[in-house]
Amino acid sequence: MKPLAVTTDQPELAPRSWTTRRDEKTRRLAAVAGWLEDGVLPTSRMTEALELLIRPGDRVALEGDNQKQADFLSRSLAKADPAKLNNVHLLISSISRPEHLTLFERGIAHRVDFAFAGTQSLRVAQLLEDGQLEIGAIHTYVELYARMFVDLIPQVALLCAEKADRHGNLYTGPNTEDTPTIAEAAAFSQGLVIVQVNEIVDELPRVDIPGSWVDVVVQADRPFAVEPLFTRDPRHIGDLQVLTAMMVIKGIYAPYGITALNHGIGFDTAAIELLLPTYGESLGLKGKICRNWTLNPHPTLIPAIESGWVESVHCFGSEVGMEAYIAARPDVFFTGSDGSLRSNRVLCQLAGQYAVDLFIGSTLQIDADANSSTVTRGRLAGFGGAPNMGHDPRGRRHASEAWLKLLKNTGPVSRGQKLVVQLAETWKKGGEPTFVDELDAIAVGEKSGMPVAPVMIYGDDVSHVVTEEGIAHLHRAEGIDERRAALAAVAGVTPIGLRAQAQKTEELRRRGIVQFPEDLGIRRGDAKRSLLAARSIDDLVTWSGGLYTPPARFRSW
Amino acid sequence: MKPLAVTTDQPELAPRSWTTRRDEKTRRLAAVAGWLEDGVLPTSRMTEALELLIRPGDRVALEGDNQKQADFLSRSLAKADPAKLNNVHLLISSISRPEHLTLFERGIAHRVDFAFAGTQSLRVAQLLEDGQLEIGAIHTYVELYARMFVDLIPQVALLCAEKADRHGNLYTGPNTEDTPTIAEAAAFSQGLVIVQVNEIVDELPRVDIPGSWVDVVVQADRPFAVEPLFTRDPRHIGDLQVLTAMMVIKGIYAPYGITALNHGIGFDTAAIELLLPTYGESLGLKGKICRNWTLNPHPTLIPAIESGWVESVHCFGSEVGMEAYIAARPDVFFTGSDGSLRSNRVLCQLAGQYAVDLFIGSTLQIDADANSSTVTRGRLAGFGGAPNMGHDPRGRRHASEAWLKLLKNTGPVSRGQKLVVQLAETWKKGGEPTFVDELDAIAVGEKSGMPVAPVMIYGDDVSHVVTEEGIAHLHRAEGIDERRAALAAVAGVTPIGLRAQAQKTEELRRRGIVQFPEDLGIRRGDAKRSLLAARSIDDLVTWSGGLYTPPARFRSW
């Protein structure tokens, strides 16, 4: 290669436009301008407008969050004429509604990048097999949002809020969730921001997203869909879960000094929340543990809040029925000047990754190395946010008491570690072992042609596994064999548990690497549902002073 | 412990207030209400008002970002009467102005949680030794923000924007940086949000932060301070840096297929940016590598942008002098409807963590295990954002071509890895070796009583080290000894490099674990400054068509 001379460094560049995205946006908006009044589109024009505002091949970020759904927009999009609108590349964190997949059946969309596909996961797998759907990648929520600022920048965002005013300012209500993040990705890349709202008003309670980020507002035919995903009825918590929860409180939270934490969703962690005001109180732990939370507003946290355990809760999203309770507890929850919650998944994930010392969550399967997954056969479910919470964040540089307790002495260059705790009963209700030689995820990954198996939490990130048998402090084990022995010691009569050797288990107990209930001074017979601060949804309502209003399906009275 | 009966589960709770933070905010605002007109405080009242709006012991988040500084507020705070206002707990990402430390000398503040203390780091160490300053922890930027939602929730935020309107809506201008994040932490936890602006106008170019998040606006005595931290004058790039940059392009970017990436700050990476349109072009790599960036708007990226290499750039902050250029390139940069940049550190960090495949940055010291640090003796500098970019994000679950190239075959459960590349010349200009037996950071950490040594990038996160000698593909090495041998092979005549054994080095070259320039078909004699697409700031201005307007200190004409 011949070095270029100074004067020719800058070649004669062909004139080009640097405003193609902006020009295209202007062009599309002009096509619907006649229908807009103050930026508001008539509800009846929605499908027609989408056919003009979206072009074949566009990347379209459709707000299907973990909780709230821009379902008027997705239903309207699914009615589009595939001759006009096809081959869309859908960016959606949660494939959770039937019409999300109708888009693929009808050819309106073809490619998808997503994070979670709970109830629709079987159908995703089927459409994939039939060639009607192509998967870019399965992400966690925040990974998908991250890519919206890098290589998956959307041309169009279809969003969801409670209210808009005549200037396009938006009020999200408590389920702020991901709207500000997706709006930012589209609005500042010359993308179109189209928002469905429940109501258009003259004055908003507060502004969550400024009107200068929004192009088109439409009043939906009915309020947006949202599911109470984080409500756990205490009636379904059994004695075994109480036992496990007691072990977690006494064997992990207390000795490690866990003050800032995140709980996954599930009855196991709900049991912990409900034992704080009773069992936790009896251990004198109030004020010493579990003060600062990154957590959706779990109804099962109400008794701990009312008993004065909880200093703060920052939320990924909200929870149906908790609105009035949250509004009445602004010292605890992040609320606006209007009184209602401001949640924010990206910021709560940031907090969960870099500001808390412990993640604890349930899983469906664990292998001998503590790899775990909730993926089961035939389902391409994805993991939502669990992997981001359930790993040791290696970009962390500040220390805390708990983090330092996991410091491995590796000479002058060492670091602490986040506690990542996996909770499981050794056998599932269906009569399948939780501890298995090979995760179902491996077969699912192979069948779907995934480049790596869909593991939720990797074993080398897991510090503790807790079952009804006991606690395995995996981070204290020396070497892989001892780590496996510690895990086997709490794996009961499963394929993995049967490998435990009594003598090694005894040694591990002596060294504090394995702890059974008796090692913690916990009598199995004391682990009773009666210890729960609330044993029904009704009890939770009582604790809340009537402020919590559970959805109908949770009411038994 | 006796289980409680159902009816006594909910103890008679003493009546308590759940609105203490909101009430306190109301009380403080009432104390200055007489001075406010439409929420605007007269400039002359600032110090007096801060004495009423802040209480001793408060956590105060002062906007000292990486770039922009709420310097009118910090100067006003430093004039407060310590008899009235003392013992403040300061949360500040960058201790960068003299008055930040005057706060501690005068006893107005006592405790600090921070992320970076560049030019002020010697004084920080001195105040710490004198007991006038107490450090909570040294964080990365985003860790500190994360804690503002968990256990370091601010009572008061002192922020900075370009313009406000009469409703308190804010326009940040291109240096949006951290203002929305800190504002959110305070505004939604009933904290006070006080903002200095350069100008109060009737209509804003766009709204970055809604007025309903803001309590007090004040027009500053002069525009806020901001430094051009990311401008590298190409005149200071030497032939050795050109050589290293050629190796990175041909030996890493091309074979790994790096399309989405982040560059650190420094002349080494600036050299890479300036070689894309010349050397990169000659290799036929345009369109194949370096398309999507998470990066401040480096002036040295202008030639690559103008030559059509760059699809997108999402920015942590902005850069002085780049405003008009950015505004003219909306296809590339994230800009608002007004045309100016919207940066956002938290979102760009998210993108850099979860959406890019490579981080590359310079360092000052590397040890035998590839641990590195920019901390040098006597300085408590911190690392800003480098550790968050320079680690393998273990919460990542989506695959990419580059990420999969670092997959270790560990059986059915495996995962890829982010490329983390450390660049360094083997000897520093001052005649000190870069490769050392022990990082200075270890002594600094011990002297300051830090719980762990302030390591910037941990060796086990580093995939590649590149020097003028060659590339060490550390991720390909098997075992610690081979890893050390690979590093030594490129460490020149430093204490570490002298340990290299010729025979082992030859073997590592044969196996592609170590590559010297000749192994890549690069002749050292070809590595000349004349290859740089721009060799001066003036050249950059020419490339930009006169749109880039460098600050006076960088002008030589």
| pLDDT tens digits, one per residue of A286-312 | 999 999 999 999 999 999 999 999 999
DSSP state of B42: P
**Closest C-alpha among B542, B525, B301 to residue A8:** B542
Structure confidence at residue B405 (pLDDT): 96
Angstrom distance (rounded) from CA A184 to CA B335: 10
Instruction: Write the DSSP string, B124-159.
Output: HHHHHHTTS-EEEEE--HHHHHHHTTTT---SEEEE
Assigned CATH topology for domain B234-543? Glutaconate Coenzyme A-transferase (3.40.1080)
Torsion, CA B80, CA B82, CA B87, CA B91, rounded to 10:
20
Alpha helices in B118-252 (DSSP H): 121-129, 141-147, 179-187, 239-248
pLDDT of residue A118: 79
Antiparallel, parallel or unpaired: β B134-138 and B260-263: unpaired
CA nearest to B356, candidates B294, B303, B281: B294
- Of A259-273, B175-189, B448-462, the poorest mean pLDDT is in B448-462
Task: Give the side-chain half-sphere CA count within 13 A for B222.
Answer: 6
Contact A22 B150 (CB under 8 A): no
Name the pLDDT band for A12 (thresholds 50, 70, 90).
low
How far is Cα of residue B516 from the mean position of the Cα atoms in its chain? Answer: 31
User: How do residues B179-190 score in pLDDT, each as one tens digit?
Assistant: 999 999 999 999
pLDDT of A377-387, one tens digit each? 766 778 889 99
pLDDT at B1: 38
Q: Report percent pLDDT > 90 for chain A.
A: 89
Smallest CA–CA distance, residue A135 to chain B, in Å, is 11
pLDDT at residue number A7: 41
Of residues A121 and B60, more confidence is placed in: B60
pLDDT at position B10 is 62
Residue B206, min C-alpha distance to chain A (Å)? 6
pLDDT of residue B382: 80
Yes or no: domain A228-356 corresponds to CATH 3.30.750.70:
yes
Q: Which pLDDT does position B135 carry in this prediction?
A: 94
Whether the CA torsion A197, A201, A206, A207 is positive or negative: it is: positive
pLDDT in tens, B323-349: 999 999 999 999 999 999 999 999 999
Q: Which architecture does CATH list for A359-466+471-515? A: 3-Layer(aba) Sandwich (3.40)
Query: Percentage of residues in chain B with pLDDT exceeding 90?
Result: 89
pLDDT(B3) > 60:
no
Confidence of residue B447 (pLDDT cuts 50, 70, 90): confident
Q: Helix, strand, coil proportions of chain A in percent (round to 5)?
A: 35, 20, 45
In this structure, are residues A267 and A239 in contact, taking their beta carbons and an 8 Å threshold? no
Note the pLDDT of residue A128. 92
Is a pLDDT exceeding 60 seen at residue B5? no
Residue A144, pLDDT score: 98
Q: Which of A188, A307, A309, A337 should one mutate to test binding to chain B, selecting the residue with the greatest count of B CBs within 10 A?
A: A188
The A residues from 466 to 495 touching B (CB cutoff 8 Å) are: none
State the pLDDT at residue A378: 65
CA distances from A305 to A154, A237, A312, A398, B75 (A): 40, 20, 9, 28, 40
Q: Name the segment(s) of chain B with CATH classification 3.40.1080.10.
A: 50-219, 234-543
Instruction: Provide ipTM, 2 decimals.
Output: 0.97
**pLDDT confidence tier of residue A2, bands split at 50, 70 and 90:** very low
pLDDT at B77 over 60: yes
Residue A13 DSSP one-character state: P
Instruction: Encode A400-456 in three state secondary structure.
Output: CHHHHCCCCCECECCCCCCEEEEECCCECCCCCECECCCCHHHHHHHHCCCCCCCCC
In angstroms, the separation between the Cα of residue B234 and the nearest Cα of chain A is: 13
Residue spans in chain A of domains classed CATH 3.40.1080.10:
36-219
- Out of A330, A415, A438, the one facing B18 most closely (by C-beta) is A330
CA-based torsion, A403, A408, A412, A417: positive or negative? negative
Instruction: Return the pLDDT at A383.
Output: 84
Task: Tell me what pLDDT residue A229 has.
Answer: 92
Reported as a pLDDT band with limits 50, 70 and 90, residue B408 is confident
Q: Does B104 touch chain A (CB under 8 A)?
A: no
The SS3 call for residue B113 is strand
Q: Given a cut of 60, is residue A46 above it in pLDDT?
A: yes
Residue B479: its H or E element: helix B479-489
- Angstrom distance (rounded) from CA B316 to CA B330: 16
Say which residues have a Cβ less than 8 Å from residue B252's Cβ, sequence separation at least 6.
Answer: B258, B358, B419, B421, B464, B466, B471
Q: Are B154 and B186 in contact (CB under 8 A)?
A: yes
What pLDDT is recorded for position A135?
A: 94
Residues A505-514: contacts with CB under 8 Å, at least 24 apart: A508/A477, A508/A482, A511/A476, A512/A473, A512/A476, A513/A472, A513/A473, A513/A476, A513/A477, A513/A482, A513/A486, A514/A470, A514/A471, A514/A472, A514/A473, A514/A486, A514/A489, A514/A490
Q: Residue B316: is its pLDDT beyond 80?
A: yes
Reported as a pLDDT band with limits 50, 70 and 90, residue A4 is: very low
- Best CA proximity match to A103, nearest among A134, A68, A65, A148: A134
| Pairwise CB contact (< 8 Å): B415 & A455 | yes
* B237-281 residue pLDDT tens: 999 999 999 999 999 999 999 999 999 999 999 999 999 999 999
CATH architecture of B50-219: 3-Layer(aba) Sandwich (3.40)
List A residues 240-259 in contact with B (Cβ-Cβ < 8 A).
259
Across chain B, mean pLDDT equals 95
Which 8-state DSSP code applies to residue A223? P
Average pLDDT on B209-233 reads 97
Task: Write the residue in A140, A350, A413 that is nearest to B371 by C-beta.
Answer: A413
Q: From the list A188, A355, A407, which residue is nearest B143 (CB)?
A: A355
* pLDDT-wise least confident of A314-318, A504-508, B378-382, B494-498: B378-382
Which ranges in chain A are annotated with CATH 3.30.750.70?
228-356
Average pLDDT over residues A505-512: 98
- CB-based contact (8 Å) between B412 and chain A? yes
Domain A36-219 CATH superfamily: Glutaconate Coenzyme A-transferase (3.40.1080.10)
Beta strands B216-219; B192-200: pairing state? parallel
Q: Quick check: B391 contacting A, CB < 8 Å?
A: yes
pLDDT band for position A101 (50/70/90)? very high
- Give the model confidence (pLDDT) of A190-244 as tens digits: 999 999 999 999 999 999 999 999 999 999 999 999 999 999 999 999 999 999 9
